[in-house]
Structure 1
Amino acid sequence: MKRELLDVCVHCGFCLPTCPTYVLTGDEAESPRGRIYLMSLAERGEASIGGAFTEHIDSCLGCLACVPACPSGVQYNLLIEAARPRIEEEAPRDTLFRRLVFALFPYPRRLRAAAVFGVLYQRIGIRPTRLLARLPARARALESLLPPVRVRDLFARTPRATLPAGSARRRVALLTGCAQRVFFAKVNAATVRVLAAEGCEVVAPRGQGCCGALSLHSGRDEEARRFARRTIDAFGDGYDAIVVNVAGCGSTMKEYGELLSADPEYRERAAAFAAKVRDVTELLAELPPVAPRHPVEARVAYHDACHLANAQRITAEPRQVLAAIPGVVLVDVPEAQICCGSAGVYNLLQPEAAEELGKRKAANLASVAADVIATANAGCLLQIGRFTSDGTPIVHPVELVDASIRGTGSK
């Protein structure tokens, strides 16, 4: 934690109403400026790593809503990314559940195998409510986040190469993701169809695995670097853009240059790779549409995924892409800047706070009476789906674009 970064904070409080944990608790230590104060104490050797320090750093979602809200330009993203590895080194929380999470979620094959058992559990049709109530909160959260999915969908594969409709305008590579390819293969399929319809040759490189997002956001930096190197190797060169349809993954991949800046073998490759990363809505906003759009008559509530809006500063592009669909009416959501509580694996490691935030987000979304909820992140899709009980469809924006191009409607 660099002193010069800590000293930028003047403790003005503009961050407070944007911070989910402060909004929930009103506790100063649960705010960005409170956490910066703790970091400053630790940097001066006046507070130990562990105990209260670890508790308040762990409770931060890393949503980064405080960054665009700060008038002083505090780089809280750099501060929290420096604090978490220090905890991993000096006061690791090596719990069985934490080991399970990081042994499962970054590995699509393992996650798919676990998901098969989850689907079979769902097919039983009877939830052991009394038993579930006795389980730890983390185990209950894991059970409740499993989306309705068919076994055959778990094994769907994105085509290795898809040719464009008409003349090629771009040659792009697609990150198929971890949870994305297992639980949201339909989003990947929609992404490929839309990009092909808009004149892109789409390649899904084989051998790609986790991009390192979960590890980086949890302070497991060396593990994140290992995943980053593997991703760079798997994708290779020869693309105009590297397309991502998961906000957290895109945010991390755009940081590869910084993540691998001390690696002489990968430094230049990582910077070149990061410069080509585009969220799918970002790329679609750059490309003047050529595929005709059919009407999708729907009121759409767009939820800003934190790592798209706050880390990548992409807010206008998804709205531009959705607004270009005939019949779509975008509606504003109250407390739009407050995180839904997903935040990578936060909803598993901090289930109580995540549940409060999930219910709050679902209530705000319900208040606008939308026909469809759209959000550009797999974790948000799972989290919002968990707490939305009125049957409102929850989709990725690219699925609505796909429905418009294909003329299949929104539902």
Structure 2
Amino acid sequence: MSMPLEKSPTRAPVGRIAELADQCVQCGLCLPVCPTYALDRNEAESPRGRIAIAAALARGQVDPTAGLREHLDHCLGCLNCEKACPANVQYGELLIETRALLGPGPQSPRQLLNLIKRPVLMRALHHIGGWMALPRWKGWLARRLPADSPWRAALLVIPIEAPAARARASDKNHGQPCVALFPGCVASIDDAEAQQAAITLLQVAGFQISLLPAFCCGAMDLHGGATESAERAAQHVRRAWAECGATQLVSVTPGCLGTLRRALPGVSVVDPVELLATHADALVFRPLAQRITLHLPCTQINVARSDHALLQLLRRVPDLDVLPLPRPPYCCGAAGSHLLEFPERAAQLRDATLRQVATLDPQQLLSSNIGCRLHLAAGIDAQGLHWPTRHPLTLLAQQLIHAH
């Protein structure tokens, strides 16, 4: 339904959107690194085109019709364009402000997203699903749902393995610098093993660890235009941080880092691999004679900017052949809730990524973002491939020789 911008019930700062849009010089250097432009070859599916749409919406020159907003909703928020931009356009901020102006899209599976954001409920459902042997027949059930159904996409990314036990931190290294680990929502269940690995590695490196409660940071709401829910999540983050007494905050999920930094301005919020890389001399690893492909999530490269630190750590494992995935492709298509909202588009981007993985013929595929890894694993399963998928920290902890 078309709605004049002046009557929008949201209270986003339209002047700020126009100001951000005016930074763009329309040079087009963002086009070659944009995954959706590569997919459609449509100017409206490029950063330059979306900036023009956002500016026109903010100035009241066009109404937010379904067709216009679809181009904005298709954006993955990968921020490859920001890295390529010579004018330093704050595209990520522009996208957040514009989506806040429009509110959640009509394709947003709100009930499903509300479920995913509740770790206690999700863990209970995992246990019920395990009791019912859901991983064995999830494909049969998914095939009976429409190809564009978010519930179908959600079924397909359910891990085959049962979730690991919750991560736990001990009182080791009391009196040393205290680092708080943010578990998140989905990651607190499906990446608990990686979180425990991060705790082990950080403790061996000399850090004291405080584990925050598991809850959603608000990233999906923030990037989906649900501003009130995103702000409630940010307040939850601020309360948890104020109570933990740590000096730094880490998350094993790069997709959470930008939202955590937004909620906690002035706080050091980093990928744990950055801290580990600066204390790498304390970490000694057993040899592992394997060839692994490293998928670097967009958020790890463009938000966390910890890709070099991760490669530095992995290359400390003797005999390990580390092959970073070439770019392009620039995004696997997971992109938070994008794989649920636009599953067919997400699958196209994922399959392009897996074709590149196949050229490297790995024995394992590593990726540090839980959404990316579940999405890639679903594609691996659908194609009958045999690449185990893991978080890089899990491999590092597995090969760690504990100091005495």
- TM-score, normalized by length of structure 2? 0.88
Matched residue SS, 2:333 = coil
> How many aligned residue pairs are there?
382
Tell me the equivalent position of 1:102.
Answer: 113
Distance in 2 (CA, whole Å) between partners of 1:362 and 1:98 is 26
- On the 8 A contact 2:333/2:350 being kept in 1, the answer is yes
Change (3 A) 1:338 1:313: same
- Given the alignment, which residue of 157, 164, 173 partners 2:166? 157
Tell me the equivalent position of 1:317.
Answer: 309
- Given the alignment, which residue of 36, 45, 60 partners 1:30? 45
Distance in 2 (CA, whole Å) between partners of 1:188 and 1:100 is 27
Worse-superposed segment, 211-220 or 58-67: 211-220
Tell me the equivalent position of 1:16.
Answer: 31
Q: Mapping of 1:8-407 within 5 angstroms?
A: 8-88=23-103, 92-93=104-105, 98-123=109-134, 125-126=136-137, 129=140, 132-137=143-148, 138-150=150-162, 153=163, 156-164=165-173, 169-206=176-213, 208-235=214-241, 236-256=243-263, 270-272=264-266, 275-336=267-328, 338-388=330-380, 389-406=384-401
- The amino acid that maps onto 2:126 is A
- The amino acid that maps onto 1:179 is V
Distance in 2 (CA, whole Å) between partners of 1:374 and 1:251 is 21
**TM superposition shift of 1:364:** 0.8
**TM superposition shift of 1:18:** 1.1
**TM superposition shift of 1:34:** 0.8
Change (3 A) 1:203 1:10: same
- TM-score, normalized by length of structure 1? 0.87
Distance in 1 (CA, whole Å) between partners of 2:158 and 2:332 is 17
Change (3 A) 1:245 1:336: farther
- On the 8 A contact 1:304/1:336 being kept in 2, the answer is no
Distance in 1 (CA, whole Å) between partners of 2:40 and 2:344 is 12
Worse-superposed segment, 76-85 or 36-45: 36-45
- The amino acid that maps onto 2:265 is A
**TM superposition shift of 1:321:** 1.3
Matched residue SS, 1:74 = coil
- The amino acid that maps onto 1:271 is P
- On the 8 A contact 1:168/1:199 being kept in 2, the answer is no
Change (3 A) 1:131 1:210: closer
**TM superposition shift of 1:336:** 4.4
Segments of 5+ residues of structure 2 without an aligned counterpart are: 1-15
Distance in 1 (CA, whole Å) between partners of 2:131 and 2:244 is 41
Matched residue SS, 1:374 = strand
Distance in 2 (CA, whole Å) between partners of 1:354 and 1:162 is 42
Can you list the C-alpha shifts for 1:100-131, whole angstroms capped at 9, x where unaligned? 12311211112223323433454573456387
Worse-superposed segment, 22-31 or 37-46: 37-46
- On the 8 A contact 2:135/2:158 being kept in 1, the answer is no
Distance in 1 (CA, whole Å) between partners of 2:275 and 2:230 is 25
- The amino acid that maps onto 1:215 is D
**TM superposition shift of 1:42:** 1.3
Task: Report % sequence identity.
Answer: 30
Change (3 A) 1:51 1:135: closer
Tell me the equivalent position of 2:10.
Answer: none
Matched residue SS, 1:242 = strand
- On the 8 A contact 1:145/1:383 being kept in 2, the answer is yes
**TM superposition shift of 1:200:** 1.6
Change (3 A) 1:124 1:401: closer
**TM superposition shift of 1:325:** 1.6
Change (3 A) 1:126 1:98: closer
Matched residue SS, 2:265 = helix
**TM superposition shift of 1:168:** 6.3
Matched residue SS, 2:321 = strand
Worse-superposed segment, 308-317 or 33-42: 308-317
Matched residue SS, 1:180 = helix
Can you list the C-alpha shifts for 1:289-339, whole angstroms capped at 9, x where unaligned? 313211122222211111121123332111111112222222242334511
